Amino acid sequence: MLTLLKLLKDGRFHSGQALGASLGVSRSAVWKQLQHLEAELGIPIHKVRGRGYQLAAPLSFLDADEIALQSSGSGWSLQVFDSIDSTNAEALRAIDRGVPAPLVVIAERQTAGRGRRGRKWVSPFAENVYYSLVLRVDGGMRQLEGLSLVVGLAVMHTLRELGIAGVGLKWPNDVLVGSKKIAGILLELVGDPADVCHVVLGVGINVNMQVAEKVDQQWTSMRLETGRMLDRNRLVALLGAKLQQYLDRHRKSGFAEIQAEWEAHHLWQGRAVSLIAGSSQTDGVVIGIDNQGALRLNVAGVEKTFSGGELSLRLRDDS
């Protein structure tokens, strides 16, 4: 089915006969496949009598060769999927199979994209970047401290370099433009964090998505911010380079060396917030983060620190 889509990706008209000849199938088989594409991937296809079929808008696809060409020798191996349940889930399966790290898994779409705190990550076909990097960590807990915040910085700088000027961070690892989310990060860990473990750094970036159903929070995309279609292959290559740069710094010097830089980009410094953990809520004012990436809040005049994957931060109405 995707071979057919690739024949149509230029956004021009292609006759049913020509498409059938390229695929070695009949015109009616082409028509059936196109119906599947529309229904399953939600890609609108125009049909005009006498001219054939045309995508409503041209598509560009992820291309491992193109990404390798633009990633000046990262040495990370790359797996590209047309469709997968979740790139994080696939990365975890690769760890189970003993595939050596570092390994990057990307996909055109996810059918069960995972967000933080059990949420779904909406992952339409050929529009965004769904990226998971597998790392082997054998330096104990220190190498995990602040890791998700470091990934946030790398993502933020990638987006800035591609023209998203107003992008910033929200503790622990949201990447926002103003109050709208443009990227999210989900870390998953297997093994013994105090000894040898593998960590999957999952990054979802809204790239060319302009409409989305079922996203339960304010969001934006690179295209909505710039008015331009973005080249996802270039984005994946640049993201790899930035991750490599920040992960190297983190490994050599620890999170303490990156703490001040992270705080300088924290959009909610000094804001009145509520921190939600399950059914409990703590109101306070953001002081910043500590040298392990934990959130520091002023709660009724007393400083308290908070860390953990299940926490969520909201602005208070009076902020």
- Which is closer to ligand BTN, CB of 20 or CB of 184? 184
Please pick, from the candidates 102, 152, 168, 204, the single residue that binds ligand BTN as defined by CB under 6 A. 204
Q: Which of 116, 170, 232, 242 is catalytic?
A: 116
Structure tokens at 130: 């769904």
Distances (CA, A) of 287 to 23, 99, 298: 61, 42, 6
- Which is closer to ligand BTN, CB of 110 or CB of 233? 110
Q: Rounded distance, CA 87 to CA 170, Å?
A: 23
Instruction: Report the nearest approach of ligand BTN to the CB of residue 243 (Å).
Output: 13
Please pick, from the candidates 86, 208, 221, 259, the single residue that binds ligand BTN as defined by CB under 6 A. 86
Q: Is the preceding peptide bond at 124 cis, omega within 30 degrees of 0?
A: no
Is residue 33 near ligand BTN by the rule CB under 6 A? Answer: no
Q: Which residue is nearest to ligand BTN (CB)?
A: 184
Site string for ligand BTN, 34-73 (x = CB under 6 A): ----------------------------------------
Is residue 206 near ligand BTN by the rule CB under 6 A? Answer: no
Structure tokens at 194: 């105090």
Q: Rounded distance, CA 203 to CA 184, Å?
A: 6
**How many other β-carbons are positioned within 10 Å of the β-carbon of residue 182?**
26
Instruction: Give CA angle at 115 (112, 118), nearest 5°.
Output: 90
- Which is closer to ligand BTN, CB of 33 or CB of 86? 86
Structure tokens at 73: 């020798």
Instruction: Report the nearest approach of ligand BTN to the CB of residue 172 (Å).
Output: 10
Active site residue 181: yes
The pair phi, psi for residue 36, each rounded to 5°, is: -60, -45
Query: If you write DSSP's letter for every residue of 91-103 in order, what string do you get?
Result: HHHHHHHTPPSSE
Please pick, from the candidates 53, 130, 268, 306, the single residue that binds ligand BTN as defined by CB under 6 A. 130
Please pick, from the candidates 54, 87, 206, 221, the single residue that binds ligand BTN as defined by CB under 6 A. 87
Is residue 186 near ligand BTN by the rule CB under 6 A? Answer: yes
Give the side-chain half-sphere CA count within 13 A for 200. Answer: 26
Is residue 219 near ligand BTN by the rule CB under 6 A? Answer: no
Structure tokens at 193: 């964090």
Active site residues: 116, 181, 314
Binding site for ligand BTN (CB under 6 A): 86-88, 110, 113-116, 119, 121, 130-132, 174, 184-186, 202-204
